[in-house]
Amino acid sequence: MIIAVDGPLASGKGTIARALAARFGLPYLDTGSLYRATGVAVLEQGIDPCDEAACAAAARALDITAIDEARIRTAEAGAMASRIAVLTGVRTALYELQRNFALQPGGAILDGRDIGTVICPDADVKLYIMADTETRARRRWEELTARGEAISYAEMLEQTRERDRRDAERPDAPMRAADDATLLDTSSLSIDAAVAQAVAVVEKRQKA
Ligand code: DC
């Protein structure tokens, strides 16, 4: 079984995807971490984020076993990930890795922006997780400030809007729900309630 979980920043897609992976015993890939790690490489190597060939080379050179979790979770890394994710060269460089992960025997669960539309249009279950912008900005702001990052809520709200715009408006693999995805709005749901709804969608598909 392949499960695709897409949605914008801080919609809850990662939490839901991890819970589904544990529940159904599936390997899980957070595809945003690949774009974030590429963004960090671009920052650390002083690569021009408009230089498509150099950014694509950084994506191809990624060692996914050596991704620094703390470093890729900063607001700076997320913003750079969104910038380099508009480049077709970068997306092509990361495609095969994601596709191979999805096609492993027994299936897999992947979360991102284009899993149900581009990486796994053939997924057995597609979920699109959303929440209103203010709720998502607040969640992300609380997460970052708890980790000691100095960022105001107003800045976080602006960054969230900018990220959404860039992710949704890029011509190549824009963030959007697949036509056959089930939409799940987590704005006023607890984590447990959101996970329970996602589990119900998967179980219904299994029975069908
Ligand atoms: O899910 P995230 O916030 O960690 O993702 C960071 C950025 O990476 C996101 O703003 C856009 C990009 N991304 C993408 O373009 N496609 C994906 N499948 C996953 C992430």
User: Which residues lie with the beta carbon below 6 Å from any ligand 1 atom?
Assistant: 9, 31-32, 35-36, 78, 81-82, 85, 112-115, 163, 167
On the question of pLDDT at 204 being above 90, the answer is yes
Give residue 155's pLDDT: 95
Band (42; pLDDT cuts 50, 70, 90): very high
Average pLDDT over residues 40-49: 98
Band (140; pLDDT cuts 50, 70, 90): very high
Please, where are the H alpha helices in 29-171? 32-44, 52-60, 69-72, 75-84, 88-102, 133-146, 153-169
Q: Whose CA is nearest to atom 12 of ligand 1?
A: 82
On the question of pLDDT at 135 being above 90, the answer is yes
- Domains along the chain with CATH numbers: 2-207 (3.40.50.300)
Average pLDDT over residues 62-80: 93
Residue 27 CA to residue 77 CA, distance in Å, equals: 25
Index of the ligand 1 atom closest to the CA of residue 114: 18
DSSP codes, 142-168? HHHHHTT----HHHHHHHHHHHHHHHH
Report CA(75)–ligand 1 centroid distance (Å).
Answer: 12
CB 205, CB 23: distance < 8 Å: no
On the question of pLDDT at 119 being above 90, the answer is yes
pLDDT tens readout for residues 81-95:
999 999 999 999 999
- Nearest in space to 160 (alpha carbons), one of 181, 141, 174: 141
Index of the ligand 1 atom closest to the CA of residue 111: 18
Segment among 25-34, 73-82, 191-200 with least mean pLDDT: 73-82
On the question of pLDDT at 208 being above 90, the answer is no
Average pLDDT over residues 15-43: 98
Report CA(26)–ligand 1 centroid distance (Å).
Answer: 21
Calculate the average pLDDT of the chain: 96
Q: Whose CA is nearest to atom 5 of ligand 1?
A: 32
Q: Whose CA is nearest to atom 15 of ligand 1?
A: 85
Average pLDDT over residues 47-72: 96
Give residue 24's pLDDT: 98
On the question of pLDDT at 189 being above 90, the answer is yes
Band (75; pLDDT cuts 50, 70, 90): confident
Q: What predicted TM-score, i.e. pTM, was given to this entire model?
A: 0.95
